[in-house]
């Protein structure tokens, strides 16, 4: 998760570039002097989706959540994973957090959360839209794209870390992420690339 990577960087992990699933931790690293000032930028803006492999489970909007026709709902850890924080915000905004909380299965990160749903350990879960779009059409099941106004923006930032300040490959990677071809690819995967 982004939070765990941030902690590793703060504790001396020899990483050159940090691609975070939020904007808070790259900003903190810059403020703490662990990232090269002026290199931080948004490479993607993620979208949260409520997803189930069952093509009939997730209908229009959040009805399935309100009706409670499931045993378990997967979300990423809201303390360390930005997509988990967004899922909690959406559930609170819907006014059902307290009712749903006992049914939650928490993934360490968004990848583990996706796997909980994909393997059937949870009937549905809040995942990254990009994860759903990466599936073959026949495996996409049903999903609802959570309106962006139901949670904080999932602004994903990249930053050059002090460890990589003199590494030309690290700078080249960050430059590459800003090219039109990469931005187009990122958009095809279900992200936005501009605010």
- pLDDT value at residue 80: 87
Residues 38-71: pLDDT tens digits? 999 999 999 999 999 999 999 878 999 999 889 9
Residues 104-118: pLDDT tens digits? 999 999 999 999 999
- pLDDT value at residue 61: 82
Residues near 127 by beta carbon (within 8 Å), at least 6 away in sequence: 48, 49, 51, 74, 83, 110, 113, 114, 117
Residue 29: band (very low, low, confident or very high) from pLDDT cuts 50, 70, 90: very high
pLDDT surpassing 70 at residue 195:
no
Sign of the CA dihedral with 45 first, then 158, 186, and 62 last:
negative
Residues in the chain: 195
Residues 132-150: pLDDT tens digits? 999 999 999 999 999 999 9
57-61, 75-79, 191-195: least confident range: 191-195
Stated pTM of the model? 0.85
CB atoms within 10 A of CB 119: 9
Residue 96: band (very low, low, confident or very high) from pLDDT cuts 50, 70, 90: very high
- pLDDT value at residue 59: 84
Q: 19 has which bridge partners?
A: 158
Q: What percent of the chain has pLDDT over 90?
A: 90
Residue 2: band (very low, low, confident or very high) from pLDDT cuts 50, 70, 90: confident
Q: What percent of the chain has pLDDT over 70?
A: 99
Kindly provide the b/e burial profile for residues 34-46, where b requires at least 16 CB atoms within 10 angstroms of the residue's own CB. bbbeebbebbbbb
């Amino acid at each position: 998760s982004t939070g765990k990577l941030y902690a590793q960087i703060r504790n001396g992990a020899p990483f050159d570039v940090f691609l975070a699933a939020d904007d808070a931790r790259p900003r903190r690293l810059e403020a703490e002097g662990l990232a090269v000032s002026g290199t931080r930028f948004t490479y993607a803006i993620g979208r949260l989706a409520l997803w189930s492999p069952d093509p009939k489970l997730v209908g229009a909007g959040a009805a399935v959540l309100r009706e409670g026709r499931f045993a378990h709902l997967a979300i990423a850890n809201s303390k360390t994973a930005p997509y988990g924080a967004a899922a909690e915000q959406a559930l609170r905004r819907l006014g059902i957090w307290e009712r749903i909380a006992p049914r939650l299965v928490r993934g360490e990160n968004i990848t583990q959360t996706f796997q909980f749903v994909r393997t059937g350990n949870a009937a549905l879960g809040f995942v990254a839209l990009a994860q759903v779009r990466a599936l073959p059409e026949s495996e996409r099941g049903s999903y609802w794209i959570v309106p962006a106004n139901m949670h904080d923006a999932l602004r994903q930032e990249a930053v050059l870390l002090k460890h990589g300040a003199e590494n030309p490959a690290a700078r080249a990677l960050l430059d590459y992420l800003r090219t039109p071809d990469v931005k187009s690819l990122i958009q095809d995967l279900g992200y936005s690339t501009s605010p």
